[in-house]
Structure formats: structure tokens, C-alpha cells
Amino acid sequence: MSLILGHRGASAYAPDNTRAAFELAINMGADGVETDIHITKDGIPVIQHNYEIDRNSNGHGYVEEMTYDELLQYDFGSWKGEAFKGEKILTLDECLEIADKSMRFINLELKQVMHQDSGIVEKTLELVKKHKMVDRVLLSSFDHTLMQQAQVLCPEILTGALYDESEVKQNNIYEILKDAPQYVSDLGFDFANPHVDYLCEEGIVDKFTQKGIGVAVWTVDKPYIAQQCVKHGVKCIITNKPDVILKAVKEICD
């Protein structure tokens, strides 16, 4: 059966990429979460989607231009409701501590770096190994060169190619749109991580499967689409609503 991963946790109901969102996803029955990693000015991997913190905190500025201690000054929960007031930004270390205790699987997205010497791949792998979670982690990124670095540094870890149309155009990797299964296979990655719109092509999941590539699809919040994903053999379904999608998947499996 497909693994159900909370997209930045149960982010339909709790502030994304926070402890509250992760714990809620697990309490709903999710197998794990998909989350995002940035590097602070002082070299600490933290959990945050956007490059800047304006959308989801009471602060302003870019993660990579702030120290971890500076980021700790801000509230990352209140924007979603008073019940989440006081949520602090999580470090990757803290995230993996939660994952080790309560998740079967976790998808870590490495964000494209503003500074090439950030060491995001090395620092992420160091913490994954520290928590002895190499066999429960999928690394992915829109920057596929980061995944190639991860392959060299830790050949046993799972790697995935994230893509959607805007990122394909931005990075000039039109080969993905021509023949995504061949592109991912040529890179030697274990997973393709496409936006759900890319699964509309008939038989596309089978084409990946035939090459030994798993599919982790985002972001699936509609029950009937989740059921189609299961039928087609998608390995991981990433959703903002783990409760809704788990119910839909259970119905089809029953």
C-alpha cells in the first residue's frame, strides 16, 4: 500500500513544518511527513519551506541571512491560530528526533542554496546518520545536483528528483518533460517526485516502475485522486490532509 506522508506535516490544520504539524500528522495515522531544509547563517539545518520567514512567522528576512538564535526569537505558529502561539522553528536534528520515535518514513527536501558553500548535503547526511535513519529517509530536491552529491557521499540513501513545470523551465531541464522516467533513470535516482498533474499521462507510473523507480507524488488532497494513485502503484502520497487521504486509501484497499 502507498505510504501517506503529511505535506509539511498536517499543514491543512496546523502551521506547516512545525512540531505541532508533524505530531498531528502522526496522530492522524500518517506514515511520516515531507518537509523542507534550509541552512542558517551560522550553518544550522532548520525546517522551513520559504527562503524568507515573512509568510509563516512574525519575523522578516531570509533564513540564510539569519542565525539560528535570531530565528528562535520569532513565533512560527500564531499565523495559523492562537492555539499554535509560541511554535518555534525546528532544527533538522529536532525533526529527526521526532521522526525516529514516531515515523516509518520521512521525505527531506533540500532547498536550492543561495550560497554554494552552505554544506547542506553534508550537514543533512551527518544528522541522518546520527539518528541512524538512513534506511527511512528519502532525500529530494529541485536542484538535482544536490542529489548527485548525496549519492556520492552516501550511496545507500534514497534520492529523488523533484519537478514541476516552473522548476523545469527555471533550471532548463526540459528532458524531464520529454521523458521523465529516462531522465531520472539516467541520474540513477531511486524516486521521481512530481507534482500530481504529471501523473495524468496514461501509464507514466508503470514507466517509472519498469525502471525500478518509485514515485512520490505531491500534493494530493482529493480522495478520488489518492485512490487513483494507489491503483497506479504510487509509493508515497504527500498530502496536506492525512486524515482525509488515509480514509480514502483505506476504502480502496478494503
195 a catalytic residue: no
Say which residues have a Cβ less than 8 Å from residue 178's Cβ, sequence separation at least 6: none
Q: How many residues does the chain have?
A: 254
The pair phi, psi for residue 4, each rounded to 5°, is -105, 120
7 a catalytic residue: yes
Secondary structure of residue 46 in the 3-state scheme: strand
Confirm if 195 and 218 have CB atoms less than 8 A apart: yes
Confirm if 46 and 64 have CB atoms less than 8 A apart: no
Please identify which of the residues 38, 49, 144, 232 carries the catalytic annotation: 49
Closest C-alpha to 110, from 139, 152, 150: 139
The dihedral sign for the CA sequence 228, 229, 233, 239? negative
Closest C-alpha to 76, from 108, 47, 33: 47
C-alpha distances (whole Å) from 3 to each of 31, 84, 106, 170 are 6, 27, 10, 30
Please identify which of the residues 7, 38, 144, 232 carries the catalytic annotation: 7
Residue with the three cell numbers 501509464: 203
Q: Is 168 exposed, middle or buried (0-12, 13-18, 19+ CB in 10 A)?
A: middle
Where in the sequence numbering do the catalytic residues fall? 7, 49
